[in-house]
Amino acid sequence: MGTDRFERNFPCLCGKGEILAEWSEHDTWPSPNKSIGWSFSCGDCGAKYVFSGDVIILRADADKQSELWLASEAAKNKIYPAAAKYEERWLQFVMACGTKKEMNRLVGSGSYGTFLKYASRPGWIENQTRLHFKVAPKTCLDHMGINDAEVSALHEAASAVRKTADEFWRSTVTAEVASSSLVVPAILSKRVVRISMKPTRVQKGAFLHPFCTPFRQLEPLSGARQFKI
């Protein structure tokens, strides 16, 4: 019983190099192949494009998206310091609830069953209450009926930055809905050639068929290379 490592090469976007897919599977039971590592063995495409999970986007778009997400997190992180003066009041508000069900609704700690499972542990409800306040201070203030002008302004600013990040992703990146579990949704920049490829479950000694691709035909390929770990 062990783990097998597989590799598979595909034509690069420019047609001059290759794209390498690497993944591991247990040799006893089926693996979902959801942790595939993609890389370029082509200097030109590696400089121009970048993998984001199982998709390819322009490196410039990825850098821009990263900048927007960092700006969004920075704006969000400004809210808690302004709202921190209400944290103890929030804790008292939650602890004064008449039922565990209401506590769970306020602190958003998952299902009610999970809440009851851990609620008897000393300090657990307090920790969850404080954690929720740090993550969503504006929501907590709304529950208490508190309208703080500074917190509201920071929350609106953070929401605007997050909206900008989301809209950039939606406008710059398109998604193809997969009609089969063997096809990876093609999420990519508008200026990128659409591809969709992902290894299927590999049986030892079997040929790994070329991946489904709706917009360009893959050249015939040999089976995946297998390495024992």
The 10s digit of each residue's pLDDT in 104-162 is 999 986 788 888 889 889 999 999 999 999 999 999 999 999 999 999 999 999 999 99
For residue 227, what pLDDT is reported? 47
The answer on 165 and 112 residing in a single domain is: yes
Asked if residue 121 belongs to a domain, the reply is yes
Give the C-alpha separation, 42 to 36, whole Å. Answer: 19
Collapsing DSSP states into helix, strand and coil, what is residue 226? strand
The answer on 81 and 26 residing in a single domain is: no
Collapsing DSSP states into helix, strand and coil, what is residue 44? helix
The answer on 164 and 89 residing in a single domain is: yes
Residue with structure tokens 């479950």?
A: 201
Does position 75 have pLDDT exceeding 90, yes or no? yes
Does position 12 have pLDDT exceeding 60, yes or no? yes
Of 23-32, 47-56, 157-166, the one with minimum mean pLDDT is 23-32
Write out the two tokens for 202: 């590999």
CA neighbours closer than 13 Å in the CB half-sphere of residue 63: 6
Query: In this structure, which long-range contacts are made by residues 22-28, counting pairs with CB atoms below 8 Å and at least 24 apart in sequence?
Result: 23/199, 24/229, 25/201, 25/202, 26/1, 26/2, 27/1, 27/2, 27/3, 27/204, 28/1
Q: Of the residues 169, 187, 212, which one is the last residue of a structural domain?
A: 169
Does position 202 have pLDDT exceeding 60, yes or no? no
Asked if residue 118 belongs to a domain, the reply is yes
Q: Is the pTM of this model over 0.75?
A: no
The answer on 36 and 107 residing in a single domain is: no
Asked if residue 60 belongs to a domain, the reply is no
Q: Of the residues 169, 187, 214, which one is the last residue of a structural domain?
A: 169
Q: Where are the alpha helices (DSSP H) in 49-188?
A: 59-77, 79-83, 87-95, 100-107, 112-119, 124-135, 137-144, 149-172
The answer on 75 and 14 residing in a single domain is: no
Residue with structure tokens 């949704």?
A: 185
Q: Which domain holds residue 43?
A: 3-54+198-228
For residue 54, what pLDDT is reported? 63
Give the C-alpha separation, 188 to 137, whole Å. Answer: 35
